Amino acid sequence: MTAIKKYLSLVKFSHTIFALPFAMIGFFLALKQGNISQQEDARLGWGIEFTETWQLIVAKFFLVLICMVTARSAAMAFNRYLDRYYDAMNPRTAIREIPQGVISPTSAFLFVVLNCIIFMVATYSINPICFFLSPVALFVILFYSYTKRFTALCHLVLGLGLSLAPIGAYIAVTGHFAVLPILFSFTVLFWVSGFDIIYAMQDIDFDQTNKLHSIPSVLGAVNALRVSELLHLLSAATVVSAGFYGGFHFIYWIGVLVFIGMLIYQHRLVKPNDLSKVNIAFMTANGIASVVFGVLVITDLFLF
């Protein structure tokens, strides 16, 4: 296994598909509204001059991608670093890179630091507000790794971290907040929190034995699924609200049907006494939900 593959595996790079489509929604929503934030001297970071608007857009697009990848990589690697002792004791997670000795704890920590630095440099290159808010974003996504030690609301903190994607991408383009990307952020918050509860059901016994907090370990499998259903109901409500507020067209509503359909599908797959299909619910259903919804929303934005 090459070094790149090791680190991609460490941070579960494929899981980037959950939040990235929503970041792209925030980015292209800002472009649709025609609000391109530029400094008066037409410069973007480090004094690099972009005299054409499209060049500025392309530059910001890649900077947003860099921010998304590095922020998520830092968060995941820090989680693996901090949880390495628990991961080694849990049969489900003992195969991860740090417990197996594929990546050393020191290397993982340095990887976290490197990604945090790149993230902050990228935000500096975007605009001042992104740079000033970057420590807040890093605090939220890194703090999540501690929460399971003292609160069952850890799932909501994870959801909060990923929910920053559409707001952050929108601010990167416009330099200010707006209601519509915030509605999409609430969609992500409730959606991610809900499916993380389902995923955490695999570790109920381990969490209870090791005094780790999660909604499944505190409430049990049946009640945890009810909480997950409630959160996904709220996610469906916010995505519908965003559709009406944003005045979207029929393509958006097809995306809404797919998104809500995948929420329903994953709850049909997972039962309190049968967790054999958790991974299908977690990866497949949610991957389809985010990617298809993201593509259809962006298509709607630029066809109408």
- The reported pTM is 0.92
Place of tokens 């001042």: 128
Digit-coded pLDDT (tens) for 176-224: 899 999 999 999 999 999 999 999 999 999 999 999 999 999 999 999 9
DSSP symbol at 274:
B
User: Is 271 in a helix, a strand, or coil?
Assistant: strand
Q: What is the pLDDT along the chain (304 residues), one digit of tens a residue?
A: 588 889 888 888 887 888 999 999 999 999 887 655 544 334 444 343 444 477 888 889 999 999 999 999 999 999 999 999 999 999 999 999 999 999 999 999 999 999 999 999 999 999 999 999 999 999 999 999 999 999 999 999 999 999 999 999 999 998 889 999 999 999 999 999 999 999 999 999 999 999 999 999 999 999 999 999 999 999 999 999 999 999 999 999 999 999 999 999 999 999 888 888 888 777 888 999 999 999 999 999 989 8
Q: What number of residues does the chain have?
A: 304
d(CA 142, CA 79): 8
Domain of residue 11 covers 3-303
Digit-coded pLDDT (tens) for 73-89: 999 999 999 999 999 99
CA 259 to chain CA centroid, Å, is 16
Q: Which residues of 158-175 are buried (b: 16+ CB within 10 A; e: fewer)?
A: bbbbbbbbbbbbbbbbbb
Distances (CA, A) of 27 to 30, 45, 61, 174, 239: 5, 19, 8, 9, 17
β partners of residue 271:
274
Digit-coded pLDDT (tens) for 49-80: 444 477 888 889 999 999 999 999 999 999 99
Our count of domains for the chain comes to: 1
d(CA 37, CA 227): 40
pLDDT at 278: 85
d(CA 64, CA 61): 5
- 138 is written with which tokens? 């890093």
d(CA 249, CA 304): 8
The answer to whether residues 181 and 167 touch, using CB atoms and an 8 Å cutoff, is yes
CA 222 to chain CA centroid, Å, is 26
Output the domain CATH number for residue 76.
1.10.357.140
